[in-house]
Amino acid sequence: MTERIGYLGPAGTYTEQAALLYAPDARLAPYPTINAVGTAVADGELDAGVVPIENSLEGSVTFTLDLLIAQPGLSIRNEVVIPIDHYLVAPPGVSAAAVQVIYSHPQALAQCRAYLETRFPSALSEASLSTAAAVADMQASPVPAAAICPQRATELYDVQILARGIQDNTVNQTRFAVLAHADHPPTGHDRTSICFAFAVDRPGNLYHSIGEFARRNINLVKIESRPTKRELGRYIFLIDCQGHRAAPEVAAALDGLRQRVDMFKVLGSYPFWEPHES
């Protein structure tokens, strides 16, 4: 049976590109928001969903983190990492010199700020819901406009390419999470994501908690915090560690951590992405 996979749409986004890379033979469906993708997976409407979770320049995607924390029935089953290569496009016949406004997602605009300030100092930057939606905004603009979008969008829409690779930093990658009901079986090359919180703030809480990993020589590859949204100054901590939750040492560390905290959730164990994988 063909797998049903949703992604943060519309068609032509980097997320669609990641979904195609992850499952080229799946039946893909665009969804308007990250939350809509997660809800569709949790409700069984989809077998999996692909959403952005982290960019190497802009950091974590908070909507995805909040979804994983709050939504039951969701796990990270896999990840996809793709390079971000921004294209500047315009409607056919519109020259670069004529452009008065440039549309794109706020992150894309931020990642191309130096280029835009140098090449288009007088053009206005306008936020769009996505890099693909920016093309529609450009086409509907009452004044000559351009858009920053992925290569995938240039293949789907009637545009002319004004420039390629306009991002200010060439080392620009986005990590996408593949959400499903269950995570991935062990592969020997895995990462585990968890979140936890403390009911009472005490000195040494975090130090002793992450010590469960240090004592077992388990590497933490990421640690950050998100507001609980219940009280100012209270946080949920998110950790990515090397190893699968079923591995004995990781399982022992997770059990030790669980006993030290008041809220605990394994967000999933999944293989590290490698470019040669399909």
The confidence score (pLDDT) of residue 233 equals 80
Report yes or no: 48 and 5 within 8 Å, Cβ to Cβ: yes
Report yes or no: 160 and 92 within 8 Å, Cβ to Cβ: yes
Same fold, 4-83+173-180 and 87-164: yes
Q: How many CA atoms lie within 13 A of 190 on its CB side?
A: 20
- pLDDT range class, residue 234, cuts 50, 70, 90: confident
Query: Which pTM was predicted?
Result: 0.87
To the nearest 10 degrees (0 to 180), the angle between helices 248-258 and 205-214 is: 170
Report yes or no: 221 and 240 within 8 Å, Cβ to Cβ: yes
- pLDDT above 90: residue 1: no
The conformation of residue 268, written as its DSSP 8-state character, comes to E
Report yes or no: 180 and 267 within 8 Å, Cβ to Cβ: no
- pLDDT above 80: residue 173: yes
The confidence score (pLDDT) of residue 21 equals 93
In the chain, what is the greatest distance between 2 CA atoms, to the nearest angstrom?
64
Mean pLDDT for the stretch of residues 263-267: 97
Mean pLDDT for the stretch of residues 165-187: 94
Name the class of domain 4-83+173-180.
alpha beta
Which residues have a catalytic role annotated?
174, 176
Mean pLDDT for the stretch of residues 170-198: 95
What is the DSSP code string of 82-107? EE---EEEE-TT--GGG--EEEE-HH
CA distance 217 to 215: 6
Mean pLDDT for the stretch of residues 69-87: 94
Where are the chain's structural domains? 4-83+173-180, 87-164, 190-271
Name the class of domain 190-271.
alpha beta
- pLDDT above 60: residue 7: yes
The pLDDT tens digits for 28-68 are 999 999 999 999 999 999 999 999 999 888 889 999 999 99
Report yes or no: 250 and 57 within 8 Å, Cβ to Cβ: no
Tokens in use for 14?
Answer: 């980097």
Q: Write down the residue that tokens 């000559």 correspond to.
A: 144
Q: How many CA atoms lie within 13 A of 253 on its CB side?
A: 29
CA distance 43 to 272: 27
Dihedral of CA 68/69/73/77: which sign?
positive
Q: What is the mean pLDDT of the chain?
A: 93
The conformation of residue 193, written as its DSSP 8-state character, comes to E
Q: Residue 146: which H helix or E strand, with range?
A: strand 145-149
Residue 259, number of CB atoms within 10 A of its CB: 10
The pLDDT tens digits for 116-162 are 999 999 999 999 988 999 999 999 999 999 999 999 999 999 999 99
Mean pLDDT for the stretch of residues 212-225: 96
The confidence score (pLDDT) of residue 57 equals 82
CATH number of the domain located at residue range(s) 87-164 in this protein:
3.40.190.10
Residue whose C-alpha is closest to residue 17's, from 167, 156, 111: 156
The confidence score (pLDDT) of residue 86 equals 96
First to last CA, the chain: 18
The confidence score (pLDDT) of residue 277 equals 44
Q: Please report which residue ranges of 44-184 form alpha helices under DSSP H.
A: 62-70, 106-111, 113-119, 133-140, 151-156
Give the three-class secondary structure for 269.
Answer: strand
